[in-house]
Chains A and B, each alone.
Chain A
Amino acid sequence: MVRFDSRCPLGARFQHRGTHTFGLADVIELARALDGLPSRLAGYGVEGAAFEFGTGLSPDVESAVQSVTSQLLRELNSVTKGPPSQDVQP
């Protein structure tokens, strides 16, 4: 599971290059350079573990999804009910 928050520059950890060498981190940094980022932008990701045909959700990924769900709810609650979370962990 990974989490980013655009309040910090997205470093090498998020430089997962796409087939056109322009990935999500590049898009966010381009938006930052053009002063086009929203006031708050955070993202969560769960990296897949198994891609064979017929393979279901792995226990690790299922657990990560539950964890992301809980964190998302906490973060959304903090945004709607209180000051923004400061737990930036890029």
Chain B
Amino acid sequence: MTHGSRKIRVAGLTRVEGEGGLEIVLRDGQIAEARLDIYEPPRFFEGILRGRRYTEPPDITARICGICPIAYQMSACAAIEDACGVSVPADIRALRRLIYCGEWIGSHALHVYLLHAPDFLGYESGIHLARDHPEIVKRGLRLKKTGNHLMEVIGGRSVHPVNVKVGGFYRAPSAGELRGLVPELEQARQDALETVAWVATFDFPDFERDYEFVSLRHPDEYAITSGRIVSGSGLDIVPAGYDSHFTEHQVPHSTALHSTFDGNTYLTGALARYSLNSGQLHGDVAAAARAAGLGATCANPFRSIIVRAIELLYACDEALRLIGAYTPPDPPSVDVTPRGDAGSGELVGYGCTEAPRGLLYHRYVLSPDGTITDAKIVPPTSQNQRVMEADLRDFAAIRLGLPEEQLGAACERAIRSYDPCISCAAHFLDLRVTGLHEACHRHRQSRPGRRRRRAGNRQPRQPGRAAGRDGSASGRRPAHAARRASAGTELRRRRVRSRCGLLGK
């Protein structure tokens, strides 16, 4: 703290996926900076993909997240198939939507019950909530288990499923296997209805925002696996147009890239999906939304827990509908082959799907023989970082009278409303380490026990631009060199070990 200024820090956010903190800098009683501080090490997936076969992205990118691997697999498949000029048949598309519903159910149940709800009920964690309200937490875990089970039956396992391939699936489950899930899904539907009614009783801060929402929209259904990219201000483009409007930027305080839409801040995720597509929710889902107090749109991030509960209910309904109409696709996949020949140049493909946390964009460049020469992956949490920081600034500005500890806790709670997945966001490739030792030294002094690298390249990543392979000409360092540069800290080794451990990251 210096004269006239002070900092409010939450060094390690709890109940979010991944490792990050937040920092608010006050000068002369006003908020000078509000930062979401993402220090989880970069994971270099885009670099790993270069030189691999076009068939490999579904399995490689699934490893970006143990909670939403299906989202990565589906966006990867869509982009590769786009590059190869292939559209999968309706029955394969329906099976993809079904497994994606499993992921929505599992992910939303996790966030609603274990990460978000304790904030509204005054509990430190889901464990503390469980001690007083075991039946409520059991309901949440039952929902999570149903989502996992659906992914297991179709995908072979719930974390990083192995049955998804470019062109479809290695094996289509039988109709009987899927019908066996119906009783569990019907219970989940009932649990989801009770979830909506439960979260609607929470007390929400009055914090309406003027968001620029961005999501997919599909003419025939609430968009999950495909659609056009739309916004509240009228954007309406195919995924191939993404790079013309959305730009990623590096900032010094985050190992995840920030993203802008035509230079401005925007929001993707459950609130955006609902606000742009709520007219496609019908029957009991629409009725439950109305009963929970939702209108056609929702712009209060704290009320996103209601929207996730509504999407939980929708995913259960949709899964039951898809199983009722299911006949196993035969064959379970279609042939996907790069159409290029030696003289035709590179192939480019684009894929966008709706991960539980929002829009997930993949772009691949393939050589004529099917080798990946460039990859770009933009996860939803990266896209939401700017809006999270903007909201944090305004949220804190009207609470500066609170004691510091209470203000920090309130800000942490605000960030949890976006369900950020920091592990997904910190996957990116481009990293220039400058003044590593000095930065580490400064950081050790300012934050004992934690170390991070500074990403010095502030240039936005250009659409379609392939970074140099050795990084020397562009000032970038190759991934293996950057890894070596940071591999010396015990803290990083410990984090890597933990990521490879129980949570399957």
The CA of A22 and the CA of B130, in the complex, are separated in Å by: 14
Q: How far is the CA of A33 from the CA of B136 in the complex (A)?
A: 12
Q: Tell me if A81 is interfacial: C-beta within 8 Å of chain B.
A: no
A18 and B503 CA atoms in complex are apart in Å by 7
Interface string of B479-505 (1 = CB under 8 A from A): 000000000000001011111011101
Interface residues of B in 5-49 (CB under 8 A from A): 14-19, 40
Asked if B423 CB lies within 8 Å of chain A CBs, one says: yes
Contacts of A23 in B (CB 8 A): 498, 502
A19 touches B505 (CB 8 A): yes
Across the interface, do A19 and B14 meet the contact criterion of CB distance under 8 Å? no
Establish whether residues A19 and B138, one from each chain, have CB atoms under 8 Å apart when the complex forms: no
Query: How far does the alpha carbon of A26 sit from the alpha carbon of B15 in the complex, in Å?
Result: 12
Cα–Cα distance between A29 and B146 once the two chains are bound (Å): 22
Query: Closest Cβ of chain A: how far from B160's Cβ, in Å?
Result: 15
Is there contact, CB below 8 Å, between A33 and B130? yes
Q: Tell me, yes or no, whether A84 is within 8 Å of chain B by CB.
A: no
A74 CB-CB contact with B under 8 Å: no
- Is the C-beta of B433 less than 8 angstroms from some C-beta in chain A? no
**Which residues of A sit under 8 angstroms from B67, Cβ to Cβ?**
20
- Say whether A19 contacts B127, CB under 8 Å: no
In the complex, residue of chain B having the shortest beta-carbon distance to the beta carbon of A48: B497
Determine the distance from Cα of A17 to Cα of B498 in the docked complex, in whole angstroms.
8
Task: State A33–B140 Cα separation when bound (angstroms).
Answer: 14
Q: Are A19 and B17 in contact (CB under 8 A)?
A: yes
Which chain B residue shows the least CB distance to A16? B498
Contacts A33-B127, A34-B130; is A20 near B493 (CB within 8 Å)? no
Q: Contacts A34-B137, A35-B134, A51-B493 given: A18-B127 contact, CB under 8 Å? A: no
Known: A18-B498, A20-B503, A51-B497. A30 touches B19 (CB 8 A): no
A24 close to chain B: CB less than 8 A: yes
How far does the alpha carbon of A51 sit from the alpha carbon of B501 in the complex, in Å? 14
- Within B95-109, the residues touching A (CB, 8 Å) are none
A36 shortest CB reach to chain B, Å: 9
With A24-B502, A34-B130 known to touch, is A19 a contact of B15 (CB < 8 Å)? no
Instruction: Give Cα A38 to B134, complex, Å.
Output: 17
Inter-chain contact total with CB atoms closer than 8 Å:
54
**Is A33 within 8 A of B503, CB to CB?**
no
Q: In this complex, what residue of B is CB-closest to A53?
A: B487
List B residues 427-473 near A (Cβ within 8 Å).
none
Contact residues of A: prevailing secondary structure: loop
Q: Within 8 Å of chain A (Cβ to Cβ): is B358?
A: no
Check if A19 sits within 8 Å of B126, measured CB to CB.
no
Q: How far is the CA of A30 from the CA of B131 in the complex (A)?
A: 8
For A29, list chain B residues within 8 Å (CB): 127
Quick one: given A33-B134, A34-B130, are A21 and B502 in contact (CB under 8 Å)? no
Cβ-neighbour of A26 out of B40, B127, B495 (below 8 A)? B127
CA distance A16 to B494 in the complex (A): 10
In the complex, whether B114 has a CB less than 8 A from a CB of chain A is yes
Q: How far is the CA of A54 from the CA of B316 in the complex (A)?
A: 48
CA gap between A24 and B501 in the complex, in Å: 10
Cα separation A17 to B114 with both chains bound (whole Å): 16
Counting chain A CB atoms within 10 Å of each CB, the highest count among B40, B137, B141, B502 belongs to B502
Which A residues lie within 8 Å of B18 (CB)? 19-20
B-chain residues with CB within 8 Å of residue A21 when the two chains form the complex = 14-16
Q: In the complex, A13→B130 CA distance in Å? A: 22
- The distance in angstroms between the C-alpha atoms of A29 and B131, with both chains bound, is 10
* Shortest CB distance A25–B (Å): 10
Nearest-neighbour CB distance to chain B for A22, whole angstroms, equals: 7
Given contacts A24-B502, A34-B137, A34-B138, whether A19 and B130 have CB atoms under 8 Å apart is no
Partner of A34, one of B16, B19, B134: B134
Bound-complex Cα distance A22 to B17 (A): 9
* Distance A26 CA – B127 CA, assembled complex (angstroms): 7
Smallest CB separation, A50 vs chain B (Å):
10
Chain B hits for A26, CB < 8 A? 125, 127
Query: Which residue of chain B has its CB nearest to the CB of A23?
Result: B502
CB of A19, distance to nearest CB on chain B (Å): 5
Q: Write the A3-23 contact mask toward B (1 if CB under 8 angstroms, else 0).
A: 000000000000011111111
Q: Which residues of B contact A30 (CB under 8 A)?
A: 126-127, 130, 137
Note all chain A residues with C-beta closer than 8 A to B502.
Answer: 18, 23-24
Cβ contacts A to B, 14 pairs, < 8 Å: A18-B501, A19-B40, A19-B503, A21-B15, A22-B503, A23-B498, A24-B502, A30-B127, A30-B137, A33-B130, A33-B131, A34-B130, A34-B137, A51-B493
19 extra interface residue pairs, beta carbon distance < 8 Å, beyond A17-B498, A23-B502: A16-B498, A18-B501, A18-B503, A19-B19, A19-B495, A19-B499, A19-B503, A20-B17, A21-B14, A21-B16, A22-B503, A23-B498, A26-B125, A30-B126, A33-B127, A34-B130, A34-B134, A48-B497, A51-B497
Q: Which residues of A come within 8 Å of B, CB atoms?
A: 16-24, 26, 29-30, 33-35, 48, 51
In the A-B complex, the 10 residue pairs with the smallest Cβ-Cβ separation, listed nearest first, are A33-B130, A33-B131, A30-B127, A20-B17, A18-B503, A18-B498, A19-B499, A34-B134, A29-B127, A19-B505
